[in-house]
Amino acid sequence: MKYAIVDIETNGGIKITEISILLYDGEKIIDEFTTLINPESNIPQFITNLTGITATMLVDAPKFYEVAKRVYEITEDAVFVAHNVNFDYGIISKEFKALGLNFRRKKLCTVRLSRKLLPHKKSYSLGNLCASEGIPLNDRHRAKGDADATVILFERLLQLDRENASGVFASFLNARSRQATLPPLLPKKVFDNLSEKTGVYYFKNEAKEIIYVGKANNIKQRVLSHFYDKKKREVSMCLETADITYKETGSELLALLFESSEIKRNYPKYNRAQRRTKESIALFSYEDRNGITHLAWNNVKLVANPLAKFYTISEVRNFVEKLCENFELCPKYCHLQTNVSSCFHYQLKKCKGICREKETISAYNARVKQAIDSVRFTTDNFIVKQPGLTANEFGYALC
């Protein structure tokens, strides 16, 4: 079996600045490809400080499309091996996808292999593993230097697997195994024990700190989707994840409310969307000189009695669009279509023609009132009854 042992450096995002691939046949290196890559983007100073790679060094370097064929061929019919393999594999796959090509290889992660074959290490970073195992690591944070060290580590792991007949490599390469998909620090048994019911789940780092809170109708399936997502934020989060816990709620609404509460209580670093503490946009209504009732929005500080509050303009627009559709309101008087004498919806028979004097003001205002009433609650506090965890149990939310 052949193994393509890979290391890449990036611009701090998803663009490759250097790549090194060492083709290993289980005994020796039989081929090699190492090159700088022009990412066609800026190199942040902190990346230069870390890797020593400068923008000047990359000016005359080939672009990825110029070396794509070589990368494809040297890894073909080989197992793709890397330290934190999902990161390197995901970045390279994305580069090929941008060229309209699929890049699919079997994967092995030396972090996950090390956790199985070299247990009880304090850290499984490449630098710390090399230090504890006496593996020389030259040119740290350069593709060739890290790839050379990964080869030696991989040889050692392969030898341990053969000597102990542990079958770790075979289990990781099994087509039905999720080992290569899981984050490198996450034990497989943790994922296997996740619930497939509705609830809230917590991603935790090695220090047991909560770094992400999510909700799902199927916790296990939703967690797995994070591992397949190759966005930079998702990859970074998964690389930090060492444990996952959960709490079943019985219903999606209770999961949604509990998720929001837990995010505000724990303030996880990867829950950016819900870490906002105050709504900034307010929905309100007013009557113009012709007596037509409008729905509009503005900064919450400028609205005395808001109908509802939102975090962003896009949120309030989406909300008003639904009201407009459900109650056949005019987009012109909902401020969704501006600087027009009449709305486009009338032609589509989604507006009854208030903007063309085809409908009476009283009839239109009556529907606006229905829309406003649908937004308002009749009491300040109320209880929502929801299904519980069992057939004989109920969940309640006090709102």
**What does the pLDDT read at residue 257?**
87
Region(s) of the chain under CATH 3.30.420.10: 3-173
**What does the pLDDT read at residue 250?**
86
**What does the pLDDT read at residue 182?**
82
**What does the pLDDT read at residue 277?**
56
Relative to beta strand 243-248, strand 199-204 is antiparallel
Average pLDDT for residues 355-379, to the nearest whole number?
90
Beta-bridge mates of residue 287? 293
Fold adopted by 188-266? GIY-YIG endonuclease (3.40.1440)
pLDDT at 385 over 90: no
Q: CA-CA distance, 196 to 222, in Å (whole number)?
A: 9
Q: What is the mean pLDDT of the chain?
A: 90
Determine which of 27-41, 67-81, 185-199, 259-273 has the lowest per-residue pLDDT on average: 259-273
Q: What's the token pair of residue 288?
A: 């113009």
Average pLDDT for residues 126-149, to the nearest whole number?
94
Cβ-proximal residues to 378 (8 Å cutoff; 6+ apart), any chain: none
Determine which of 180-184, 253-257, 271-275 has the lowest per-residue pLDDT on average: 271-275
Confidence band of 131 (pLDDT split at 50, 70, 90)? very high
**What does the pLDDT read at residue 203?**
97
Region(s) of the chain under CATH 3.40.1440.10: 188-266
Determine which of 141-155, 222-236, 259-273, 305-319 has the lowest per-residue pLDDT on average: 222-236
Average pLDDT for residues 163-187, to the nearest whole number?
79
**How much of the chain exceeds pLDDT 70, in percent?**
95
Q: Give 300-320 pLDDT, tens digit per residue.
A: 999 988 999 888 898 899 999
pLDDT at 397 over 80: no
Residue ranges of the alpha helices (H) in 165-214? 168-173, 188-192
Residue 188: CB atoms within 10 Å: 17
Average pLDDT for residues 222-249, to the nearest whole number?
87
Average pLDDT for residues 1-6, to the nearest whole number?
95
Determine which of 88-102, 128-142, 337-351, 352-366 has the lowest per-residue pLDDT on average: 337-351
The CATH code of the domain at 3-173 is 3.30.420.10
Q: Give 6-26 pLDDT, tens digit per residue.
A: 999 999 878 999 999 999 999
Q: CA-CA distance, 207 to 47, in Å (whole number)?
A: 26
Determine which of 12-16, 43-47, 128-132, 214-218 has the lowest per-residue pLDDT on average: 12-16
Average pLDDT for residues 326-340, to the nearest whole number?
92
Q: Give 186-227 pLDDT, tens digit per residue.
A: 988 999 999 999 999 999 999 999 999 999 999 998 998 888
Q: CA-CA distance, 72 to 210, in Å (whole number)?
A: 39
**Which position has the token pair 């669009």?**
321
Average pLDDT for residues 115-139, to the nearest whole number?
91
**What does the pLDDT read at residue 276?**
56
Confidence band of 39 (pLDDT split at 50, 70, 90)? very high
**Which position has the token pair 């559709």?**
325
Write the single-letter amino acid at 41. S
**What does the pLDDT read at residue 284?**
95
Q: CA-CA distance, 338 to 273, in Å (whole number)?
A: 29
**More confident of the two residues 177 and 366:** 366
Confidence band of 232 (pLDDT split at 50, 70, 90)? confident
**Which position has the token pair 């909560």?**
210
Q: CA-CA distance, 289 to 198, in Å (whole number)?
A: 51
pLDDT at 230 over 70: no
Q: CA-CA distance, 282 to 297, in Å (whole number)?
A: 5
Q: What's the token pair of residue 110?
A: 């030396």
Average pLDDT for residues 331-351, to the nearest whole number?
89
pLDDT at 80 over 80: yes
pLDDT at 114 over 70: yes
pLDDT at 267 over 80: yes
Q: CA-CA distance, 370 to 290, in Å (whole number)?
A: 20
**What does the pLDDT read at residue 82?**
95
Residue 19: exposed, middle, or buried by beta-carbon count in 10 A (0-12, 13-18, 19+)?
Answer: buried
Q: CA-CA distance, 58 to 45, in Å (whole number)?
A: 14
Q: CA-CA distance, 148 to 137, in Å (whole number)?
A: 8
